[in-house]
Structure 1
């Protein structure tokens, strides 16, 4: 990551000091490295510098310390002479299984491939499933989890699921979904999932790309106190997937109080019937090479259909050890609650909490039902020690004036994880990786070209921006004193309301499919002002002659997006615009400023619309600047991504307010020459659309 040094050095106040840092897992790890290599690592920063300066050695130590159940041997963890965009392979010679390492621990007294149940004893609780509002609490011990997963793995195997076959789950964050994930990887299959509240089109956009052999889907779902029957959606999905040669069946997961009626002539069968073909004993674990596919997650679909991101079995396991055990200090006596859906990558954190033998709490539903305090009480009720949440939840607690410690006894909570949101001094820059890391996605599913090919979707997504450097679209700053990394926003067109990431192209597909006869075009963007607690999704539409955007049409648009995609995709506001730029990779942000804007390297990108180039150029924009440039002046380059900023400019002299929609293209590279940037920005300035 490259940034400019900050000129501001705030006074720091010590908030908390750990009672005994020498008892943490990361401290023990540091001590082991110091003794083995005669080093003097004394801080987290020292460890970080060591890890990137001694890549092969650091990750070898991680692998050996983790004590995975595995077969084979390796000469070196990675070939450090290869650039990251060569996608070098890690731990060649090792074979390993995801489910085996989560369900069992290694018996160090025998061999590296010997299983044991230390810290995962039969009678110990492994999983707690909690319904919305903290009701319907069910506990499952390790013996039950191993038995249920092995039975499902056997059934999958007997139904012909082979190594590399895909299983797709449209299911809630439940115990059954967890067993589907583990059972799939038990036999060498590839698991993928999305939330059941996603619309049919969104589900099919993902499922059709990976051609699953089997689909597991909830028969109903519940959110915010309301029950939703999913059987109509089930039948439509089966009808579409039945056109795919690879699709075998959809297995129905019972979530409602009453069994769903099933047409037995269709490719739909209940879970209990599917399990009836399981053998009495567990199947053998299918150990795979370290780099073999294990999980497919999805991009937000900014530039088309969501990309199918393939994660390796070894990468998932070693990163779960590094993040969960070293960073998070997770142990066998911990209780983990990560609030998430199965459509978010954080779902992995719910599953991999099992790695050290911790208990994972699977919560399904709204964290604000039946009231804002019920979720806090759940943390106390289940004695949660590690809590993963979102900035939105924290903001709502603050907005409502709720102090969690006054609601419940939270003395057990030792770790709270969340995406950082509050901007602090420190220059913002793009987060990049210039050296390989073991959990790098191994490929995009159905990417026609090899990953290393500059024309492949994979290469274009991560490596096209900088030579031999991984960049995936996050703007961050590093605090000048604490060195904490804070995430300010996306540097691409990803929308992120309430922490749910999706791409504007998902909205466009709905608009084009349903409203192309009355609309010329549309642009969907995210608005995030400095005073906002969350991102707001806005949809701008250009109507065809003779049509107007009425309140009734706005409601129809929202209902259609909700039906085809999900409630989380619905824009908060829909506006009619007289004209729209022809390109689509834009943001619409709100900029509130007084007179001449003063922007510097200290300015948070949240304050000025999310563009570093805008930060440096904004200080030179005054009332005397020409605001209109013809659209024909839009250059083909350097427009890798762009900013569409709705600027509200207050004149100090007249206090007059005017509002314009300004199209600015972000300039490539890094420079502090605001005059140069300003010139480049105005050269690529498009039409100004008067909105007020």
Structure 2
């Protein structure tokens, strides 16, 4: 267990939604639960009762009640949830129709656009009417090639109100990346902008849109939000119309919320696609709603007076998660642009100006601002900030310490982990519990998460595969165009029958926390000993000379040897002294087996567009294996630096 960094005060515990929920459960079921660990165990031992209590406590809006919570709580593949219930996802998010701020849009210019809950409802009503008038119906696909802005949320909610399926990807995707995604699902309508801004530069989208439209004949209408230009030329886009001309002219419309089954498809998300064409993961409306309400209200302690921000694009599941904050009535801040423009402290300046109470970002971002010597607590008034969330990759101990040293001492730092596959989290925050350096605070309520060793047996205080051994409502409805569920079963259930294998390498601590050691498919095996890549990153990236690093295993002499690639700060050379320092830091803080056989300087580290290191792609490159679908990468040109390296030939 890492060092204790924070624990909530008695007053914070008393006022937390989690405490109110414990009291609610105790009264409803005649229990005497008093703290999170007991609540967690009750939730995984009484799965139907638990999810029924979330439905009630979080006040799900529905038109027909459910007959049964789950038909088969012991069978992950056969489980069906809340049979008989009829509801609409958008109706739940648009429940507040008042003058409170619903969304704030910020970009690199520093300007802010705001919309109230009433204004949002009105705009969604106008967009939904036009979609209906076009003949869009439940089950049709509506796509977004959009920055993270208010119109994106409007388009999604308008589609969801009808029962159409929303799917989006960020506008920095190349033409092939868009085709690999939208080309599989055949959307009828595309929402987009004429361009976007990043790093102080304007980027045109019209040319790329024209490039992929001809290969997606299903798109009958293109709705363009003028953003980079006030009056962009959209003549090259067949069926294109400006956003304001698309909206129905009537004001004061009532939305006709289509009432649909719990499992009706809501979102199509995409796997990273670095090993082939992306998998199209279909998520149901009810499961997404229930899981997000649980995570936002209980695990994040979100309330109506909160302002929540998460730095994300519209191609990452954290966008979907953030937007669900509307159901709570909190204000959600949307940001488009570089987090480092015009300077590395830009997001914290924005957080101070907007009075952000919950600030979400990636582990990579926190490490980068620490390297840039940013001190948000010194430079900005963050008096309202009470929680920082981090995801995308394991948050190292040093970043935990940085948050409490340089951002704020009294806040709940929750490293969270789950993924696109479940559009939610397996492990995340607990506002009523302590924060220990390097640990995710807890496993999520209702999520029967375990660590399996090599024999498929659950272990505590030992490293193992992250698995989930009981069903949960936000499991995918399935994969698109996978009628017999073959691809779906192969993705999660091939290794352990009736057990979800997620692909993370973890340890469950005595206090119920979780330590993540990286992706299990990228785990190193020198001498047959399993090593998580995050264990090495943690040591290497604390060194000021190293801006970034990537570690892979190279097959060598009937074994695996550890290869470490480092991206160095300007003016730094990889000499014997630095090499020795790197190896010493790794050896002294891990084991001799963690010490790389080779340390190689590299110009850049490849990342997916969602900010994850692509260890497997580099491993394929150095073994002369093909890397499919490089359009999933933010910087695919970086892969070429790893090809035919002479240092790996001996």
Q: TM-score normalised to the size of structure 1? A: 0.68
* Deviation string, structure 1 residues 626-646 (Cα, Å, up to 9, x no partner): xxxxxxxxxxxxxxx999979
The answer to whether the 8 Å contact 2:122/2:251 transfers is: no
The answer to whether the aligner puts 1:219 opposite 2:191 as a matched pair is no
> CA 1:144/1:622 → structure 2, altered by over 3 Å: closer, same or farther?
closer
Matched, 1:97 2:73: no
- 1:237 maps to which of 192, 195, 212: 212
Q: What corresponds to 1:422 in structure 2?
A: 396
Q: Distance in 1 between matches of 2:582 and 2:378?
A: 44
Q: 1:314 to 1:335 in 2, by over 3 A?
A: same
In the alignment, the residues of structure 2 paired with residue 395 and residue 183 of structure 1 have an alpha-carbon distance, to the nearest angstrom, of 38
Q: How many angstroms apart in 1 are the aligned matches of 2:164 and 2:513? A: 38
- Cα distance in 2 for partners of 1:530, 1:124 equals 46
For the residues of structure 2 that align with 1:306 and 1:588, how far apart are their CA atoms?
28
Please list the CA deviations of residues 25-44 of structure 1 after superposition, one character each: whole Å capped at 9, or x if unmatched: 11111112122322221211
Q: 1:588 to 1:285 in 2, by over 3 A?
A: farther
Show CA shifts across 1:356-390 (max 9, x none): 10001111111111111222111111000111111
Alignment of 1:168 with 2:203, yes or no, is no
Question: Pick from 17, 22, 25: which aligns with 1:30?
Answer: 22
What is aligned with 1:437? Answer: 472
Q: Does 1:154 align with 2:129?
A: yes
CA 1:468 to 1:643, structure 2 compared with 1: closer, same or farther past 3 Å? farther
Judged with a 3 Å threshold, the aligned counterparts in structure 2 of structure 1 residues 689 and 645 are, in CA distance, closer, same or farther, namely farther
Rounded Cα–Cα distance in structure 1 between residues aligned with 2:261 and 2:10: 39
State the 1:415 CA deviation. 1.2
Aligned position for 2:484: 450
In the alignment, does 2:515 pair up with 1:486?
A: yes
Is the 1:154–1:282 contact (alpha carbons within 8 Å) kept by the matching residues of 2?
Answer: no
Distance 2:182 2:589 in 1: 42
| Structure 2 residue aligned with 1:196 | 171
Q: 1:64 to 1:276 in 2, by over 3 A?
A: closer
1:361 aligns with 2:333: yes
Query: How is 1:97-136 mapped onto 2 (pairs within 5 angstroms)?
Result: 97-104=88-95, 120-133=96-109, 135-136=110-111
CA distance in 1, matches of 2:551, 2:13: 46
Aligned counterpart, 2:498? 468
Could you tell me how far apart the structure 2 residues matched to 1:438 and 1:539 are? 35
CA contact 2:210–2:237 (8 Å) conserved in 1? no
CA gap of 1:37–1:265, structure 2 versus 1, over 3 A, is closer
- CA drift at 1:173: 0.3
The alpha-carbon deviation at position 233 of structure 1 amounts to: 0.9
TM-score, normalisation: structure 2: 0.73
Distance in 1, matches of 2:586 and 2:177, equals 40
Shift of 1:590: 5.8
Deviations 1:550-598 (CA, angstroms, capped at 9, x unpaired): xxxxxxxxxxxxxxxxxxxxxxxxxxxxx999xxxx9965699999999
Q: Which residue of 1 aligns with 2:61?
A: 69
Over residues 182-227 of structure 1, what are the superposed CA-to-partner deviations in whole Å (9 max), with x where a residue is unaligned?
A: 1000111000000001111001100011110111111011001000
Give the CA deviation at 1:174: 0.1
SS for the counterpart of 1:138 is strand
SS at match of 2:177: helix
C-alpha distance in 2, partners of 1:595/1:531? 6
Cα distance change, pair 316–644 in 1 and its aligned pair in 2 (3 A):
closer
**How far did residue 450 of structure 1 move?**
2.3
Q: Give the distance between the partners of 1:63 and 1:259, measured in 2 at CA.
A: 46
Query: Which is further off, 68-77 or 50-59?
Result: 68-77
| Native 8 Å contact 2:47 2:73 kept in 1 | no
Report if the CA contact (8 A) 2:356-2:385 is conserved: yes
Distance of 1:232 and 1:11 partners within structure 2: 52
Residues of 2 paired with 1:198 and 1:274: CA distance? 25
1:398 Cα deviation after fit: 1.7
What displacement does 1:282 show? 3.2
Q: Cα–Cα, structure 1 residues 83 and 283, in superposed 2: closer, same or farther, change >3 Å?
A: same
Count of aligned pairs: 518
Cα displacement string for residues 295-317 of structure 1 (whole angstroms, at most 9, x for unaligned residues): 01100114310001111000111
Pick the aligned partner of 2:507 from 464, 468, 477.
477
Aligned counterpart, 1:532: 541
CA distance in 1, matches of 2:248, 2:20: 47
Task: Report the counterpart of residue 410 of structure 1 in structure 2.
Answer: 382
1:509 match? none
Which residue of 1 is the match for residue 225 of structure 2? 253
**Structure 2: runs of 5+ lacking an equivalent:** 398-437, 440-460, 524-535, 567-578, 599-614, 625-645
Q: Partner residue of 2:342?
A: 370
Q: Deviations for 1:73-94, whole angstroms, at most 9, x for unmatched residues?
A: 22331124541122x1110010
Gaps of 5+ in 1: 1-8, 105-119, 495-526, 541-578, 609-614, 624-640, 647-660, 664-687
Distance 1:644 1:232 in 2: 31
Label 1:644 to 1:256 Cα distance change in 2 as closer, same or farther (>3 A): closer
Report the Cα distance in structure 2 between the residues aligned to 1:216 and 1:248, rounded to whole angstroms.
11
What is the SS of the residue equivalent to 1:487? strand
- The answer as to whether partners of 1:214 and 1:249 remain within 8 angstroms in 2 is yes
Q: Deviations over 1:240-272 (max 9, x none)?
A: 21xx3x321222121123311122782322223
- Aligned-pair CA distance for 1:410: 0.8
Equivalent residue number for residue 117 of structure 2: 142
Q: How big is each residue's C-alpha offset from its partner over 1:494-515, in whole Å with a ceiling of 9 and x where there is no partner?
A: 9xxxxxxxxxxxxxxxxxxxxx
Deviations 1:500-555 (A, max 9, x none): xxxxxxxxxxxxxxxxxxxxxxxxxxx95741378757999xxxxxxxxxxxxxxx
Residues 1:158 and 1:50: Cα distance change in structure 2 (over 3 Å): same
- Does the 8 A contact of 1:588 with 1:645 survive in 2? no
Distance 2:191 2:262 in 1: 27
Contact 2:54-2:290 at 8 Å conserved across structures: yes
Report SS of the residue matched to 1:84: coil
Q: Which protein has the larger Cα radius of gyration, Structure 1 or Structure 2? A: 1
